[in-house]
Amino acid sequence: MTTQVRRVPSRAAAAALSLGLVAATIVFSSPVSAQAVSAPSDIACSTAVTSAPTGPATVSAASTPYGRVLVEGSAGYAGCSLYVLTSDELHALSGADFACSDNVNVLGAPCDTVLWPALLTDGAPIAGPGVNPTLLGTVTRTDFPFLGPGESVRQVTYAGLPLYRFLFDETPGETEGANLFDPVTSPAGTWYLVDPGRGLPAQGEAELQVESVGGAEVLAATMNNDFSVFPDASFPAYTLSTDSGHGSACQGQCALVWQPVLTSMRPVAGPGVDQHALGVIVRPDGTHQVTYDGQPLYLFLEDAYIEGITGTQSINGAGLITPWGVFNTIPPAP
């Protein structure tokens, strides 16, 4: 798949760049700096959210290597990629706080205003070309740092999940947040572009390869496709003992901890993997989950890390006994 990866000289330099950009964003996104913006064309997709909106947001659609995806259509931000976070689903399932909020995190910047600026709206959001208006909605948020006691704002949702931009998407058309397995949010989760047709994740093509993790050779899935700080990172893939036939026993909250390896195109076999061993099943929510020798594949949230910033590459889920069954890694085929 053709991607728009912006490479950097080294992972260490990338980590320093990431922290530096976060710090710079905090400085230059103050209310004074925001007022200094003279025209909408001066606003980058990475601009932080510093105040409540003054008008309705517009959501449109655009073509990318991941297929048709949602983008912002509002003046000044037209064409900026929009994302959803899988772990935000916990809010709908249990009433838990949103995973991307102003809670303290390892980067020291609010997730919902600086790292992943939320798409806010004053009034009903507007459906642009290619967008299904019946999937547009809003959710009330009170967890933004610029809000006073008792104040709230409305964030735009699509198919029930809140929409965000990304700090590293500086210009329209960039997709650095695509398939980003993010350990910074609380809890961790994966950021996906959004298919405007049904509101499902637009992952593009999943890629599986054999990877050495902690001295063990295991099947791994490629994530963070365009993320310049940690691009094309691989994470261990797991199978579940209770899966059988063509279905998955991991649904609901299980699927938020053990995230299905998803694809919206034909999965691709990387080094050490037989293409014929890869397949796809359709989950109840309509997403397509990758299988290996007929077994659905999963990622474990506790394996998420960003090299040089937080965590290390490891296998934390092998042999874990859960209420849904036992998860295990997959050794390479003989």
Mean pLDDT by 10 residues, the chain (334 residues): 34 42 39 29 82 96 97 93 95 86 93 98 96 97 94 97 97 97 96 97 97 92 97 97 90 95 96 96 96 97 95 95 97 84
List, for residues 110-136, the tens digit of each pLDDT value: 999 999 999 999 999 999 999 999 999
In sequence order, the 6+-apart residues with CB closer than 8 A to the CB of 10 are: none
pLDDT at 120: 98
In sequence order, the 6+-apart residues with CB closer than 8 A to the CB of 4 are: 65, 173, 174, 175, 226
pLDDT at 244: 80
Q: Is the pTM of this model over 0.85?
A: yes
pLDDT at 19: 46
- The pair of structure tokens assigned to 118 is 């939320």
pLDDT at 42: 53
pLDDT at 43: 62
Q: How far apart are CA 189 and CA 180, in angstroms?
A: 8
**Quick one: what percent of the chain has pLDDT higher than 70?**
87
For 55, 201, 253, 259, the CA distances from 237, given in Å and listed in that order, are 44, 19, 18, 10
Backbone angles phi, psi at 33, to 5 degrees: -65, -40
